Amino acid sequence: MGGTPPLSPLAPANFPELPVINGVRFATIEAGVRYQGRQDVMLAELAPGSAVAGVFTQSATRSAAVLDCQSKISGHSNQGAAILVNSGNANAFTGRNGAEAVQAITNAVAKTLNLPEARVFTSSTGVIGESLPHDRIRNKLADLSGALSEGAIDQAAQAIMTTDTFPKGSSATVEVDGASVQIAGIAKGSGMIAPDMATMLVYIFTDAKVETSVLQSMVSALNDTTFNCITVDSDTSTSDTLLAAATGASGVEITENSVGFMEALRRVMLDLAHQVVRDGEGATKFVEIAVTGATSDADAKTHAMAIANSPLIKTAVAGEDPNWGRVVMAIGKSGAPADRDTLSISFGDISVARNGWVDPDYNEDEAAAYMKGQNLQIRVDLGLGGGKAKVWTCDLTHGYIEINADYRS
Amino acid sequence: MGGTPPLSPLAPANFPELPVINGVRFATIEAGVRYQGRQDVMLAELAPGSAVAGVFTQSATRSAAVLDCQSKISGHSNQGAAILVNSGNANAFTGRNGAEAVQAITNAVAKTLNLPEARVFTSSTGVIGESLPHDRIRNKLADLSGALSEGAIDQAAQAIMTTDTFPKGSSATVEVDGASVQIAGIAKGSGMIAPDMATMLVYIFTDAKVETSVLQSMVSALNDTTFNCITVDSDTSTSDTLLAAATGASGVEITENSVGFMEALRRVMLDLAHQVVRDGEGATKFVEIAVTGATSDADAKTHAMAIANSPLIKTAVAGEDPNWGRVVMAIGKSGAPADRDTLSISFGDISVARNGWVDPDYNEDEAAAYMKGQNLQIRVDLGLGGGKAKVWTCDLTHGYIEINADYRS
């Protein structure tokens, strides 16, 4: 596996201090699913009455755990719920064995924690095409159950990592009708070493009291402008999973009109999404693509994603080259409406092109200096309408090739 | 520009011997459009009565020359036609100036060769966003006209290169009703150095007698399974152009039912398309992706292109890693129908996965040995229907990053 990859230069200075979410307890353990000498399984137990919502990969070859979660996500119970995650093995493309492994684990967790099996959610991340040794996980359930504690979310963020170079966490506190509600989330994603496949896993917890349907519609809506607006290399995982759980322990009721809560949830989701990009394979630059003036928001996102996924743009960013011609190219190929003669492009606040040609005041040296920064913005105005979108990506460097080609498993 | 890139390891041993196509004369010249010390303009003169057909980039930001060609392509004249191509400057994203430059050139060529302006086609390839110094080209037209000769197609293949590492040519001879028809073609594409943008240009000539509408429907149909089935990095040029010209000098009439001619034309187009991939930036492996068993041919192509454009698969090929899990991932994300449990994958003749799991006879060492070859095949059978497609690509290597990020202009 070529050893531990170096810490991403875009990593935050430290893991954030996350608040305790009343109604959730965490435990982690070393089960030896694949990795040795590190914790690789995490269990989260949710108090009776907790609501659980989720969004999942759209892949046609999604993993057994994803299929199982999807079948359970709209359910409800007053008995509580649990989330179990293992790293090291994705249990994807493992035929009938895959579903059997998920069932063996969910059944054992349900018995251990005295929960209905329909309220046990699992995720698996790591190598694909190999049978998940689910007995190694089941053998640790008694120990995991005995170790559950409210403060172990930091260790949970560590245990779900595969080749991530840093654990990812984020939180928010929001005042609702004079009472305080806490939100805390953890995520993993974007580090890969052949033959592992990236999976993005996200778990968000809150002590707010929210109905499942309201929580589901919130995370579905917010997902569109957070996790669905990031890309490292355009390759979609078989296992992407986001689960959000609301324990209700604060007693603060949240409805679909709770704008403050939704905004706090959005901030946590966006922060975690940005951290996944900042841990993108080989990344040295964090890039925001902001598209305005499109015929619709959907068209703006199509253009933004065409820019964010273009290997020519991503290599230009790596080379600190203000190559706006490649931005024109990406807009041209995206398939969404564009008119060359109303198109304007800026790098940060530097206008490089407007109305279909290079800005007469454009100074290449100034733009080249801007590109040396670590956090960059590419702005495009299409001059056609009011549609807009923002997406986030990283550059494409030798590090990406090294991680994905040079190391053999 | 970082000097001349090294010859692609996938380059053919030598430029092929191309037959003279009666009714076409070529000339090339050093006009100093951007490059110094090399020929950078080519002129092809087509005999009276020649039919011209073409296919062009679908980019919304296509260049002025492409827009001009598209407006003329369905026309006809008994006075002959001409094609003028310059390298070094793409005349793309140059506002109103772009169209004016095209008109200045086509007008001057028309006068010099005594042709209607509507029968003068031009292409430009190279840096984008800079005004084309069209006077440098117009000043050379008398010399070009005086130098026209039947045998100069080799020099034409050289003059249209930008950062290609080898010139590309192909030919075929086909017997029709006992008479011989010749087809010869040249192409450029896939070498890029920042801030140049790749353009793929293809020119095919035949002495067959073909009506414009028949020639057009043939190249449009054949383009779908040749040039539209190759990809180096998923980035679409603003200037891609294919022009096919039939002089009729052989006197051999070709109709829409001339299967032998169409097959010969297909071979030439496919050979040129493969040469473009073999000159892909940084390429060290040539990869055929063959998808069968899809719900339709279109769905098969969607899957094949998802595989061919996946950075994770392209880096795995570069690393000689038989990483079939990434093939599963690409099929899952393509958006076309797939069923994990009927899916089979082979590398060459080595079956790696079938019916949704790894083949019980799969031997990783054998597959790893296969991946060391220079010409590879990834075969996927979806087990759903009769749809099939083949596409061609190359690997993603450090060379690609070097060419597009490390060299600053």
Contact B59 A309 (CB under 8 A): no
Instruction: Identify the closest residue of chain A to B61 by CA–CA distance.
Output: A332
Contact present, A385 and A298 (Cβ < 8 Å): no
The beta-carbon neighbor of B315 closest among A333, A341, A401 is A401
Q: The tokens 């090739």 sit on which residue? A: A401
Residues of B in contact with A357 (CB under 8 A): 93-95, 97, 129
Residues of A in contact with B398 (CB under 8 A): 398, 401
Can you count the helices (H) and strands (E) in chain B?
12, 18
The beta-carbon neighbor of B328 closest among A238, A311, A355 is A238
Q: From the candidates A57, A91, A93, A398, which should be mutated to test the interface with B, based on the most B CB atoms within 10 A?
A: A93
Between the alpha carbon of residue B180 and those of residues A201, A236, B403, the distances in Å are 64, 51, 44
Taking Cα atoms as reference points, which of B323, B343, B321 lies closest to residue B332?
A: B343
Q: Which of B106, B163, B199, B247 is catalytic?
A: B199
**CB-based contacts of A111, cutoff 8 Å, min separation 6:** none
**CB-based contacts of B108, cutoff 8 Å, min separation 6:** B137, B138, B141
Residues of B in contact with A97 (CB under 8 A): 357
The beta-carbon neighbor of B404 closest among A61, A127, A316 is A316
Contact B235 A94 (CB under 8 A): no
pLDDT of residue B58: 73
- A295-348 per-position pLDDT tens digit: 999 999 999 988 998 888 998 999 999 988 889 888 987 889 998 889 999 999
Average pLDDT, chain A: 86
Q: How far apart are CA B243 and CA B122, in angstroms?
A: 10
Instruction: Identify the closest residue of chain A to B63 by CA–CA distance.
Output: A340
DSSP letter assigned to residue B195: T
For residue A195, whether the previous peptide bond is cis, meaning omega lies within 30 degrees of 0, is: yes
The beta-carbon neighbor of A326 closest among B197, B343, B409 is B197
Contact B93 A237 (CB under 8 A): no
* A76 backbone dihedrals φ, ψ, rounded to 5°: -150, 155
Contact B197 A62 (CB under 8 A): no
B281 annotated binding-site participant: yes
Q: Which residues of B189-204 are buried (b: 16+ CB within 10 A; e: fewer)?
A: bbbbbbbbbbbbbbbb
B301 annotated binding-site participant: no
Give the helix ranges, DSSP H, for B235-392: 259-278, 297-308, 311-318, 324-333, 364-370
**CB-based contacts of A345, cutoff 8 Å, min separation 6:** A324, A327, A328, A351, A352, A353, A354, A378, A379, A380, A381
Q: From the candidates A235, A344, A382, A397, which should be mutated to test the interface with B, based on the most B CB atoms within 10 A?
A: A235
Residues of B in contact with A312 (CB under 8 A): 192, 197, 233, 235, 404
- A75-87 per-position pLDDT tens digit: 887 889 999 999 9
A281 annotated binding-site participant: yes
The beta-carbon neighbor of A95 closest among B60, B312, B356 is B356
Q: Count the helix, strand and coil residues of chain A and give each as a percent rounded to the nearest 5.
A: 35, 25, 40
Q: Which of A163, A199, A206, A231 is catalytic?
A: A199
pLDDT of residue B236: 62
Contact A93 B128 (CB under 8 A): no
Q: How far apart are CA A370 and CA B313, in angstroms?
A: 33
> Looking at the DSSP assignment, which residues form a beta bridge with residue A51?
A246
Instruction: Identify the closest residue of chain B to A344 by CA–CA distance.
Output: B93
Instruction: Identify the closest residue of chain B to A64 by CA–CA distance.
Output: B340
A404 annotated binding-site participant: yes
Side by side, the strands of the sheet bearing A81-89 are: A24-29, A41-46, A81-89, A120-127
Q: The tokens 């010249």 sit on which residue? A: B29
Residues of A in contact with B315 (CB under 8 A): 400-401, 404-405
Residues of B in contact with A354 (CB under 8 A): none
Contact present, B291 and B380 (Cβ < 8 Å): yes
Residues of A in contact with B401 (CB under 8 A): 315, 318, 396-398, 400-401
Residues of A in contact with B408 (CB under 8 A): 319-321, 368
Among A190-194, A352-356, B189-193, the range scoring the smallest mean pLDDT is: A190-194
Closest CA of chain B from A14, distance in Å:
30
* B226 backbone dihedrals φ, ψ, rounded to 5°: -120, -90
B199 annotated binding-site participant: yes
Q: How far apart are CA A230 and CA A393, in angstroms?
A: 6
Q: Give the burial class of A251: count Cβ atoms within 10 A of its Cβ; 0-12 exposed, 13-18 middle, 19 or more buried.
A: exposed
Tens of pLDDT along chain B (409 residues) come to 345 667 888 888 899 999 999 999 999 999 999 989 999 999 999 999 899 988 887 777 778 898 999 899 888 878 899 999 999 998 888 888 899 999 999 999 999 999 999 999 999 988 778 899 999 999 999 999 999 999 999 999 999 988 788 898 889 898 888 888 999 988 887 543 222 334 567 788 898 888 988 888 888 888 877 777 777 666 666 667 777 888 888 999 999 888 889 889 988 888 887 887 788 788 899 999 999 999 999 999 999 988 998 888 998 999 999 988 889 888 987 889 998 889 999 999 999 988 888 898 999 899 999 999 999 999 999 999 999 999 888 888 888 888 777 644 4
The beta-carbon neighbor of B357 closest among A95, A329, A398 is A95
Taking Cα atoms as reference points, which of B13, B24, B11, B7 lies closest to residue B153?
A: B24
**B199 carries an active-site annotation:** yes
Contact A319 B197 (CB under 8 A): no
Segments of B47-161 assigned E as strands: 51-56, 81-89, 120-127
pLDDT of residue B8: 83
Inform me whether the pLDDT recorded for A198 exceeds 50: no
What is the residue type of A243? L
Backbone conformation region of residue B309, classed left if phi is above 0, alpha if psi is from -120 to 50, else beta: alpha
pLDDT of residue A192: 37
- A249-291 per-position pLDDT tens digit: 899 999 988 888 988 998 888 888 788 778 878 889 999 999 9
Instruction: Tell me, letter by letter, the H, E, C secondary structure of B267-311.
Output: HHHHHHHHHHHHCCCCCCCEEEEEEEEECCHHHHHHHHHHHHCCH
Residue range A98-111: mean pLDDT, rounded: 96
pLDDT of residue A408: 41
Where do the domains of chain B lie, and which CATH numbers do they carry?
A: 24-278 (3.60.70.12), 286-406 (3.10.20.340)
pLDDT of residue B192: 36
Q: Which residues of A19-48 are buried (b: 16+ CB within 10 A; e: fewer)?
A: bbbbbbbbbbbebbbbbeeebbbbbbbbbe
Contact present, B184 and B18 (Cβ < 8 Å): yes
pLDDT of residue A245: 85
pLDDT of residue A191: 40
Host H or E run for residue B237: none
B404 annotated binding-site participant: yes
- A2-21 per-position pLDDT tens digit: 456 678 888 888 999 999 99
Residues listed for chain B? 409
If you count residue pairs, one on A and one on B, with CB atoms under 8 Å apart, how many are there? 221
Instruction: Identify the closest residue of chain A to B308 by CA–CA distance.
Output: A235
Q: Give the burial class of A390: count Cβ atoms within 10 A of its Cβ; 0-12 exposed, 13-18 middle, 19 or more buried.
A: middle
Q: Which residues of B13-37 are buried (b: 16+ CB within 10 A; e: fewer)?
A: eeebebbbbbbbbbbbbebbbbbee
Contact present, A184 and A204 (Cβ < 8 Å): yes
Residue range A41-55: mean pLDDT, rounded: 91
